[in-house]
Structure 1
Amino acid sequence: MTDIERLVRQEWAAVDGDRRITVVDPADGRELFAAPVSAPTEVEAAVHAARSAAATWARTPAAERAAAVHRAADAVAARADDLARLTTLEMGKPLGDARGGVDAGVGTLRQYAELGPVHRGRSLNGGIAATDLMVYEPRGVVAAITPWNDPVAVSCGLIGAALVTGNTVVYKPSERTPATGWLLARILSEHLPEGVLNLLLGAGETGSLLVGQPVDVVAHVGSTATGRAIARAAAGRPTKVLLENGGNDPLIVDADVDPEWAATQAALGSFANAGQICVAVERIYVHEAIAEPFLEALVAKAQALRTGPGLAPETQLGPLVDRRMRDHVHAHVEQALAGGAKLLVGGEVPPGPGSFYPATVLSGCNDDMAVMREETFGPVAPVAVVDTFDEALERACGGEYGLAATVLTRDLAHATRAWRELPAGTVKINNVFGGAPGGAAHPRRASGQGYGYGPELLDEMTQTKVVHLGTPPR
């Protein structure tokens, strides 16, 4: 656990310098290890190694690249328990959820390994004496900067899509889950040629140094602030930027649904992974016709959650990733209460070690409150009661984010109107989570830009060339 190393040009070595970031167990506050921080020279070396390997990897037949990713996926599956345990130790999510994230990462790697060889261009109808083609080519070096809340699944998606399309990768996992990122890179690299995958370690400074290098793609999933900083740094340069910056996802509860069922959906969307999900429910608009039984049921579900360390089998609500995140969440709750919201359950920082925060339900919230306007990223369900579906939809359409939204309704006209009008990349009707595999959407507004998932991510990782093959005169 203490020998976390960086990977450059297929060589694992200790990070240069003495800088370290202390990682603690969010369940009890004990120090797990001191993670190293890559020096500026190592950032340059990693990008240079990826650039040196890019031409050879791009020329490698697509089927061979896919086979390598398939082998890597099998290796990740074989170490799934180890990766899940590290994830839980570092960021606190219940072990079963962490294992689900690893399994999702394995599935994504296998999906891209299958899609890579068939990701091809098309022929065009030109003159009879010529052939015209549109072909996809890798962009070159991809900087993959990934988050802590689902570290394996997200990393596998970005890395897998980059590799099967012939790109090389410089990978920087979050400083909050460095051991998980290190182990994942170690497993993947064993099945890849030298320089194709390189690992850097550190926080925002390391990420800034990486973005400042001559990379061809920056693919980032994380906070809005970091995403905006990346966009500014890449402005004016020929760098493709893919961003998922998080959101402030609304949930609309219509008058005609069962309030108990709606509360189950709301609790899942608000409290899963302690609310630390990019597409978590962040604000709820419930019709006044069912508001009272809905709130009663939501409070009961919050109270019923079993809180504890993520490694405990009975735990349903683990700690937040660290106390800095807990301070942020509690500040949103306190500001809402000061602004007139009513606390129905939770809302108090518990005594003792760790960074636990209770499942919290607030009523009487308005859209000027930070808890309704910004990304809280904690187990908080802020509720506003509305008089009509029209009011709910209008308020759900507000704000600066546009990642996802959910509508619970039995009215087909309401559902259709909602998915057409909501300015979000993903709209879910009657399920807060779920959907067919391979779905991909463009986040809107401050939530980012570009495809981050699905087959369309392969398009983002490549660039198109038009080829005209004419014939000389006889």
Structure 2
Amino acid sequence: MSFESRNPATGALLATYPEHDAAETDKRLQLVWDGWQRWSRTPLPERIAFLLRLADLLEARAETYGRLITSEMGKPLPEAIGEVKKAASGARHFAEAGEGYLAPQAIPGTPAHIIHESVGPIFGVMPWNLPFWQVLRFFIPAALVGNTVIVKHAETVQGSAEALETLVRDAGGPEGLYVNLAIERDKSAAVIADPRIRAVTVTGSVAAGRAVAAEAGRHGKKVVLELGGSDPFIVLEDADLAQAVKLGVVSRYSNNAQSCIAAKRFLVAESLVEAFTKAFVEQAAALPMGDPAKDGIKLGPLARGDLRDNVHRQVRDAVKAGARVLTGGEIPAGPGNFYPPTVLVGLPPDAAIAQEEFFGPVAMIFPFKTEEDAIRLANATEFGLGAAVWSRDLARAHRVAGRIEAGAIFINDFTRSDPRAPFGGAKGSGFGRELGALGALELTNAKLVWQGGA
């Protein structure tokens, strides 16, 4: 068995990678276990120094890694380079803030404090859509606290998977700190069950996350889930319309519209919906689509042909349910997994297809009459990853934000992650946090230390 990496813009085969068999998997599990015995005892200043070297290498290799990302999953090259640089900023942030994040926490009124220690090797199940950032955003804080990781990356980005393992080694990471594991999805259960694995983190679909969580639960192991999203983008009647449209288009179509945390359902006040829709369609339709390695391209291909087929199936189902396509909605001729920027209106918000996550360049616009209607529509899915609220009245925006069921709310801005801030979802979008202080401590043992009298 081997994995293929193909250029989604052309379909050309880039490389094949052999799957790790049972013996190799066991060898790599032992590597990450032995690595934890050493790394967990490495002084914090040395772990911080490693993160700084990691940041330096990411910055120096940003274009090289960016080209690799673009060739494997199809995002425009400037965005791919930006992904690598974001990972570098994450490494620098945790190097700078790590000592404070891990400082002992006194318990007022007691002779006790809490320290945060590593838990052991972490099994990471990672997706293809942000092949460097989504891996490094969990690895960096895990390494800071003394954990080691073994990563099952997506089958289609094995070039990125091997590059990440080499990156950690080149930055001075000891053997076993970061171990790549090339296995199929159905082999993950055996890894989760292995006693050398202490916790699991998953970024992926709702179905994949729940399957992994069920397996981890059977073995009493902690799991962090960052799953799908169908983020509402709420535009109240006093919003800055031009800015809401501009950033709404950015939020929906960045990363080839293949991002969990991105605006997907645009809920717009009736008094603004006509003007918003007209401007949004104009800007979406004007996005240059094509070879993501070329200058000026804003929308590349979807990562795989089956993903494009599924997005097109969703659009057809939406039309059957009553939606109208204002732009896009057809598979273009020619090579590559391209799908044009698509905007749907008129879809009944309670239609089954409206409850699905569109993981591709499709925006749905829904009008609402009242603030209560907007809140109800925003919460009317199983997802709860992020949301945006637009209003010039900040008190009102905060009031609405407080009633949205999501892991993150952005006011007069678009949803995204930042190394300094915790990231994660609610409801069907998962649980646990990455990034920021909460992310630094998520995969640690919070140990009570009680000092009695002499």
Q: Report the TM-score when normalising by structure 1.
A: 0.91
After TM superposition, give the deviation of residue 371 of structure 1 in Å.
Answer: 4.5
Equivalent position of 1:184 in the other structure: 164
- Give 2:38's match in structure 1, choosing from 29, 39, 56: 56
After TM superposition, give the deviation of residue 258 of structure 1 in Å.
Answer: 4.3
Q: Is 1:140 equivalent to 2:120 in the alignment?
A: yes
SS of the equivalent of 1:81 reads: helix
* 1:91-110 equivalence runs, <5 A: 91-110=73-92
Unaligned runs of 5+ in 2: none
SS of the equivalent of 2:52 reads: helix
- Identity of paired residues, percent? 35
Deviations 1:158-201 (Å, cap 9, x if unpaired)? 11111110111112221121111211210112311122221111
SS of the equivalent of 2:343 reads: strand
Alpha carbons 2:7, 2:71 under 8 Å: kept: yes
Rounded Cα–Cα distance in structure 2 between residues aligned with 1:58 and 1:164: 9
* 1:36-435 equivalence runs, <5 A: 36-118=18-100, 119-124=102-107, 132-190=112-170, 191-214=172-195, 215-433=197-415
Alpha carbons 2:423, 2:439 under 8 Å: kept: no
**AA matched with 2:280:** L
After TM superposition, give the deviation of residue 156 of structure 1 in Å.
Answer: 1.4
**AA matched with 1:81:** E
Deviations 1:121-141 (Å, cap 9, x if unpaired)? 2344677xxx53322111011
Rounded Cα–Cα distance in structure 2 between residues aligned with 1:357 and 1:181: 26
Q: Is 1:28 equivalent to 2:23 in the alignment?
A: no
Rounded Cα–Cα distance in structure 1 between residues aligned with 2:419 and 2:441: 17
Deviations 1:411-470 (Å, cap 9, x if unpaired)? 334312211100001011111146865111441011011012212112112112222334
Q: Report the TM-score when normalising by structure 2.
A: 0.95
Rounded Cα–Cα distance in structure 2 between residues aligned with 1:304 and 1:316: 10
Rounded Cα–Cα distance in structure 1 between residues aligned with 2:269 and 2:54: 49
Q: Is 1:461 equivalent to 2:448 in the alignment?
A: no
Rounded Cα–Cα distance in structure 2 between residues aligned with 1:249 and 1:433: 8
Rounded Cα–Cα distance in structure 2 between residues aligned with 1:258 and 1:60: 51
Change (3 A) 1:450 1:430: same
Alpha carbons 1:283, 1:382 under 8 Å: kept: yes
**AA matched with 1:165:** V
**AA matched with 2:367:** V
Alpha carbons 1:52, 1:195 under 8 Å: kept: yes
Paired residue total: 451
Rounded Cα–Cα distance in structure 1 between residues aligned with 2:431 and 2:91: 22
Alpha carbons 1:216, 1:238 under 8 Å: kept: no
Deviations 1:8-31 (Å, cap 9, x if unpaired)? xxxxxxxxxxx1122211101111
Change (3 A) 1:436 1:240: closer
Unaligned runs of 5+ in 1: 1-18
After TM superposition, give the deviation of residue 368 of structure 1 in Å.
Answer: 3.1
SS of the equivalent of 1:252 reads: strand
Equivalent position of 2:421 in the other structure: 439
Equivalent position of 1:9 in the other structure: none
